[in-house]
């Protein structure tokens, strides 16, 4: 169907270097290529928005999404922490990958 395989321009090769996450305040940095792939919403490709998430030690960051998403996948480059969801608590550390399923409209705290 067109939803599973939408017509689209080629997704460009793009490098998002470590300077985006190595320093600065806690934040979510989206890899937004929407202009390059002619979309009217933030996206890395038509069905994915990848981002760096930087959390300063001792701080908390809401990582909920403003649009429909079936899940959020996280890979931990360095550090450790805890994510709170309505489904429970996930403890994570360097090298871990974890996925939080969509559980409604409340934000997850990572």
State which residues of the chain have pLDDT below 70: 1-4, 6, 65-68, 103-110
Phi, psi (deg, nearest 5) at residue 99: -125, 130
What is the structure's pLDDT at 3? Answer: 65
74: number of Cβ within 10 Å: 17
Q: What is the DSSP letter of 19?
A: G
Q: Are 69 and 44 in contact (CB under 8 A)?
A: no
Vertex 17 angle, CA 76 and 38, to 5°: 100
Its pTM stands at: 0.74
26 by Cβ neighbours in 10 Å (0-12 / 13-18 / 19+) ranks as middle
């Amino acid at each position: 169907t067109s939803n599973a395989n939408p017509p689209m321009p080629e997704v460009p090769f793009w490098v998002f270097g470590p300077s985006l996450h190595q320093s600065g305040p806690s934040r979510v940095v989206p890899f937004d290529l929407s202009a390059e792939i002619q979309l009217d919403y933030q996206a890395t490709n038509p069905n994915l928005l990848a981002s760096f998430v930087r959390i300063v030690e001792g701080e908390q960051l809401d990582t909920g999404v403003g649009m429909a998403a079936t899940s959020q996948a996280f890979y931990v480059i360095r550090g450790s922490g805890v994510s709170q969801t309505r489904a429970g608590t996930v403890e994570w550390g360097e090298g871990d990958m974890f996925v939080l399923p969509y559980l409604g409209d409340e934000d997850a705290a990572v």
